[in-house]
Amino acid sequence: MLAETVTVGSTRLLRREGVGSEAEYRRNGRDAGRIFTAMNIGMKDWPETVEAIRLIEERCLARGVRPPDRYQLIPERRMGLPYELRRDAPGETGPVLWDADDWWQLGNCAEWIQPEVGDNMIGGPASVENTIAALTAGSTYVGCLSQFSWRWPYFDDDVQQVSEVVKACGILAAKREQGVILDTYLEDGIAGTFEDYATLVGWAGVERWIASMCGCPLSVSFGGLTADPVTKTVVTLAIELGNTDRIPAAFVQGDTISYTHDLDQNASICAQDVQYMMLVQARYKTGACTLPVPLTEKLRVPTWDEIAQVQIMARRLELRAHELAATVDWPALETSASELAARAVQFVCNVRRGLGDLGVDTSDPLQVMLALRRLGAAQIEQDWGVGEPCDEFAHGRRPFRPTELVAATIAESARFESCSSAPAQRPHFIVVGSTDVHQMAKTVLVRALSSAGHEVIDIGVNRDPEDFVDALVTRSASAIVITTHNGVAFTFGHRTVDLCTERGLTPVIAMGGVLNEDMAQSASPVDVTAVLNDLGIVTPSDIADLISLLASTHAPPGAPPTIPSSSVRHP
């Protein structure tokens, strides 16, 4: 048995605390009334990331505060690919662990900060080899289960991918008596685009069910797409109601959707967000780490001192958390959480019954994950959600409690729909997709472009340049619109242009989002907007600018003369 060959390692923090796992460390701390914090980190490469972790630890200690209790490594997506494919895959922004020495440093670069490898570890086609390396290095929380729904660059065998996830979960299950925990972050998977918080909370139950079939205890994290502190508190409590084993959540993620270019405004958002997350810890002793978001997150990859800044801020806010927790009207929040949790339970029942009706073996985690992955968020919520059927919502149901992301998407889309009373005179067939997992920008693009009279071919998220060009050819489209946030703008754009040139195609190619990429001569990602423009790629400042540009660009001969504004095609 493969698991028998794996030895769970230790880290400097675990040895200093005299415990065998992070779960033991956190249970001990929460019982003593401690409040925990965490940070996300992933610099340009692994050596720079190691140095940043050390510097953050030193800065916190120098300022008289405890460093964050854990860090979530945010590597680039190549980490999700098997080692033999990793080196030849396109690079992105972020570190990659290449060898045994890199993995050893994971748990030995800091004394006060425990590592977790979550992103691009479990979920992808390299789940087994990553899990073995992570456990050996002493990372006893390993994630991220939600990412079983992702597609990795140039990898399309979903059966092999999900099989690797199940095998990796089996290895973790064999080590559960040593405190090993499987982790998930709900917004990183199917739940990230649900329209109803009842469905999102229910998805925690679905993933707990999947984990239990594999024999794994599951830590459920969430939060990045919820800005309102009261809503986040209610959802946190609802998720905790299903946490019957009281497994400390890896983290509750800070607000990632409200920041602006105004750093002072971001500071106020961060402080309020962190304070509420800490009040929940103080009141309920959840042991879940509060994860503050650096103030510059909207602008670029934060520097190490900007990460340290919000960690120090969080530790200062911690000082009064227990005192302030006594001032909150918790019974009212608990009532809301109970109502939400009850509907979440109904959703889980609907999913299990619905999968069975489809002929899925609901005792087989492989079959369950494959079926859910292939159905997708919209179909799952439409078929098994708990809201009343309603055509006003994209997923066909009126949410019991609408998610903030969908509310923001609807509001942003409506802004463009109100400006598009007349369809475009020369409509385009437009291929729209994302280079990474981010969904909101793509959703807004689809709605806005459709309302402007264009026909949109939505190819989804986590796509390769070849996918855009293949869809362009298949649908005789005249434009490609790419949204990107993962530091691949130049490489992705250049490859797309080359593919079009090779095929004799001359579409409009537009890119938006985070238009930067790592460059050898720079310590941080470089803005590549000008280089993209030199390639012939247009980079509109916003969606309104994109719509104006398309209106002034004639669709090529053969494009249909009129397109219904509601028409969206999925290849």
CATH of the domain at 565: 3.40.50.280
Cα distances from 200 to residues 149, 222, 537, in angstroms, run: 15, 9, 37
- What's the length of the chain? 571
Domain count, the chain: 2
Both tokens of residue 200?
Answer: 């999102």
The residues, ordered by sequence, that sit 6+ positions from 167 with a Cβ below 8 Å of its Cβ are 2, 127, 128
Enumerate the β-bridge partners of residue 40: 72
Domain boundary among 331, 358, 390: 331
Whether residue 317 sits in one domain with residue 433: no
Both tokens of residue 479?
Answer: 């434009």
To 10 degrees, the CA torsion angle through 183, 187, 190, 195?
Answer: 140
Residue-wise pLDDT tens digits, 155-185:
999 999 999 999 999 999 999 999 999 999 9
Does residue 275 carry a pLDDT above 80? yes
| pLDDT for the residue numbered 413 | 64
Both tokens of residue 292?
Answer: 């503050």
Residue-wise pLDDT tens digits, 209-238:
999 999 999 999 999 999 999 999 999 999
Helical segments of 358-439, H only: 365-384, 404-417
In contact, 233 and 215? CB cutoff 8 Å: no
In contact, 175 and 3? CB cutoff 8 Å: yes
| pLDDT for the residue numbered 561 | 31
Rounded to whole angstroms, the Cα distance separating 557 from 482 reads 23
| N-terminal to C-terminal alpha carbon distance within the chain | 42
| pLDDT for the residue numbered 557 | 42
Whether residue 441 sits in one domain with residue 303: no
Element (H, E) at 446: helix 440-451
Tell me the pTM. 0.88
How large is the greatest C-alpha to C-alpha distance in the chain, in angstroms?
72
Rounded to whole angstroms, the Cα distance separating 446 from 193 reads 14
In contact, 443 and 240? CB cutoff 8 Å: no
Whether residue 6 sits in one domain with residue 140: yes
Q: Does some domain include residue 392?
A: no
Q: Does some domain include residue 526?
A: yes
Does residue 462 carry a pLDDT above 80? yes
- CATH code of the domain containing 242: 3.20.20.240
Q: Which residue has the higher pLDDT, 558 or 428?
A: 428
Q: Of 11, 225, 27, which Cα lies nearest the Cα of 103?
A: 11
The amino acid that residue 2 corresponds to is L
The amino acid that residue 571 corresponds to is P
Q: Does some domain include residue 405?
A: no
Q: Of 527, 49, 45, which Cα lies nearest the Cα of 307?
A: 49
Whether residue 309 sits in one domain with residue 192: yes
Domain boundary among 331, 363, 395: 331
Rounded to whole angstroms, the Cα distance separating 399 from 55 reads 45
Tell the residue number behind the tokens 């889309």, with chain if given.
Answer: 413
Q: Does some domain include residue 382?
A: no
Both tokens of residue 58?
Answer: 């030193």
% of the chain with per-residue pLDDT over 70 = 93
Whether residue 262 sits in one domain with residue 136: yes
Residue-wise pLDDT tens digits, 321-375:
999 999 999 999 999 999 999 999 999 999 999 999 999 999 999 999 999 999 9
The amino acid that residue 231 corresponds to is T
Domain boundary among 309, 331, 353: 331
Q: Where in the sequence is the domain holding 269, given as residue range(s)?
A: 2-331
Mean pLDDT value of segment 507-536: 85
Residue-wise pLDDT tens digits, 531-565:
999 999 999 988 888 888 888 876 554 443 333 33
Whether residue 443 sits in one domain with residue 303: no
| Main-chain phi, psi angles of 505, to 5 degrees | -100, 145
Mean predicted lDDT score pLDDT of the chain = 91
In contact, 331 and 346? CB cutoff 8 Å: no
Does residue 240 carry a pLDDT above 90? yes
Q: Of 114, 215, 127, 115, which Cα lies nearest the Cα of 164?
A: 127
Q: Does some domain include residue 107?
A: yes
Q: Does some domain include residue 10?
A: yes
In contact, 8 and 175? CB cutoff 8 Å: yes
Q: Does some domain include residue 290?
A: yes
Does residue 419 carry a pLDDT above 80? no
Q: Does some domain include residue 344?
A: no
